[in-house]
């Protein structure tokens, strides 16, 4: 990842840890199953594109209204999280409009721009000798990632992913638009994480067509799930660094990985296409931004990074309906942290804009914007009621 000019301490140079972790994953894959090496291009390409998108959005937001949060040690994590949120939003909008390839082209453009930026930064910075601490931290992180990677890149057998998680990107790639079947209420709920799987599924098919020894789109989608989990672990790393400032530690990233590893549920998030992965990514990214904005330099009535927080929480709201609870909790935390009502309202409006298309589609099909939640209070259309009763009867 691109380093900042003023980053000199080992804890301020995350590229050494990240590159070591990537090398561990690549070498481990080559030892266990070399055929899966091609699949690694899928999450790597998306994370580079997401980092570039987050970098561009952050710079644009800062030019429009400088916020000066203390984010010097969390830039990589926050850029990736914001980039995933932005690319997810673009994919959802283009898919709902029937022009999903536009999102693919935009992601590819971010990938090319990101590669150019990283190559230029590497040429200018050179390759400093590795430090023992960063090498060990990278190996610990890489071993955790490797275990999840080998588990994730196996053929799908889980009922939910076969019935709708993988069906959504399959139909989206085939038709250019997101499917909406009134008799399958899963397609009427927000499922931004499933839409992101289209990048992995499309590249997986391309790799198979090019002669790589992979089984096509399904494994590509599962490789993408692992990439989203890595982005989530980076977000947890950013949150730990933000909480620990002004101190910084080279062990923050392996600590975040180990924290995720102690929970069996979080291992499932690394290997199965649950929407909770993107919900967690959005929440931890927003939390890192909130903590970073509470520095002495931004105390009092200073402007806050409402756009970035709104995008991160928008990812949580569009990945799963229950993400709305986390949105409310995060906005309440922002108010307690001293955010003005204006900045709070702007962040909330950003979330609403992100989720409005999903709510509008559910309203059009069922008469309830957050269907199937709260249908006792908000009601539902006659067609939706008949469909629900018929599904219960069967």
Phi and psi at residue 251, to the nearest 5°: -90, 5
Taking Cα atoms as reference points, which of 24, 330, 305, 308 lies closest to residue 148?
Answer: 24
Residue 378 in domain: no
- For residue 72, what pLDDT is reported? 45
Residue 374 in domain: no
Residue 359 in domain: no
d(C-alpha 352, C-alpha 348), whole Å: 6
* b/e per residue 160-172 (b: at least 16 CB within 10 A): ebeebbbbbbbbb
Residue 376 in domain: no
d(C-alpha 92, C-alpha 344), whole Å: 24
- For residue 375, what pLDDT is reported? 62
Q: Phi-psi category of 68—alpha, beta or left, where left has phi over 0 and alpha has psi -120 to 50?
A: left
Q: CA 41 → CA 44, 51, 79, 203, 392, distances in Å?
A: 5, 15, 20, 9, 43
Residue 365 in domain: no
Q: Phi-psi category of 133—alpha, beta or left, where left has phi over 0 and alpha has psi -120 to 50?
A: alpha
Total domain count for the chain?
1
Residue 372 in domain: no
d(C-alpha 256, C-alpha 250), whole Å: 11
Taking Cα atoms as reference points, which of 89, 120, 118, 119 lies closest to residue 106?
Answer: 89
Taking Cα atoms as reference points, which of 248, 341, 333 lies closest to residue 294?
Answer: 333
Taking Cα atoms as reference points, which of 157, 174, 160, 166 lies closest to residue 218?
Answer: 166
SS (H, E, C) 269-305: HHHCCCCHHHHHHHHHHHHHHHHHCCCHHHCCCCCCC
Residue 2 in domain: no
Q: Domain containing 206: what range?
A: 10-347
Residue 63 in domain: yes
* pLDDT tens for the 394 residues of the chain, in order: 554 443 444 444 677 888 889 999 999 999 998 988 889 999 999 999 999 999 999 888 776 655 544 444 568 889 999 999 999 999 999 998 999 999 999 999 999 999 998 888 767 665 566 678 888 888 988 998 999 999 888 888 788 888 888 888 999 999 999 888 766 778 888 889 999 999 999 888 877 666 655 566 788 899 999 999 999 888 888 888 888 776 767 777 787 877 777 777 777 777 888 888 999 999 999 998 998 777 554 444 456 889 999 999 999 999 998 899 999 999 999 999 888 899 999 999 999 999 998 988 888 887 788 877 766 566 555 455 555 555 554 4
């Amino acid at each position: 990842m691109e380093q900042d000019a003023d980053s000199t301490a080992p804890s301020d140079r995350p590229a050494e840890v990240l590159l070591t972790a990537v090398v561990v994953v690549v070498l481990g894959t080559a030892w266990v199953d070399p055929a899966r090496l091609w699949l690694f291009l899928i999450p790597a390409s998306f994370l580079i594109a997401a980092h570039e998108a987050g970098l561009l959005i952050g710079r644009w937001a800062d030019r429009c209204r400088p916020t000066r949060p203390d984010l010097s040690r969390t830039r990589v994590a926050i850029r990736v999280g914001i980039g995933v949120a932005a690319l997810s939003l673009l994919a959802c909008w283009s898919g709902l409009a029937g022009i999903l390839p536009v999102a693919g082209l935009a992601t590819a453009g971010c990938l090319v721009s990101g590669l150019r930026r990283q190559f230029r930064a590497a040429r200018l910075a050179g390759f400093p000798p590795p430090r023992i601490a960063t090498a060990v931290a990278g190996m610990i992180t890489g071993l955790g990632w490797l275990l999840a990677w080998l588990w994730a890149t196996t053929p799908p057998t889980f009922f939910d992913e076969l019935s709708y998680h993988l069906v959504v990107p399959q139909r989206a790639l085939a038709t250019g638009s997101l499917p909406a079947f009134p008799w399958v209420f899963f397609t009427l709920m927000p499922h931004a994480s499933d839409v992101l799987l289209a990048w992995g599924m499309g590249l997986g098919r391309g790799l198979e067509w090019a002669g790589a020894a992979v089984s096509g789109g399904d494994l590509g989608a599962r490789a993408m799930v692992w990439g989203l989990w890595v982005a989530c672990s980076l977000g947890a790393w950013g949150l730990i660094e933000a909480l620990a400032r002004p101190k910084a530690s080279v062990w923050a990233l392996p600590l975040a990985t180990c924290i995720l590893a102690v929970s069996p549920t979080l291992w499932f998030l690394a290997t199965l296409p649950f929407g909770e992965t993107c919900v967690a990514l959005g929440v931890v990214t927003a939390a890192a931004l909130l903590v970073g904005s509470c520095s002495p330099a931004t105390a009092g009535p200073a402007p806050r990074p409402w756009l970035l927080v709104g995008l991160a929480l928008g990812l949580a709201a569009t990945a799963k309906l229950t993400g709305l609870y986390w949105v409310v909790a995060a906005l309440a935390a922002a108010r307690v942290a001293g955010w003005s009502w204006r900045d709070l309202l702007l962040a909330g409006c950003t979330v609403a804009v992100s989720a409005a298309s999903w709510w509008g589609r559910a309203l059009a099909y069922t008469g309830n914007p957050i269907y199937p939640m709260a249908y006792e209070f908000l009601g539902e259309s006659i067609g939706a009621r008949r469909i629900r009763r018929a599904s219960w009867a069967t």
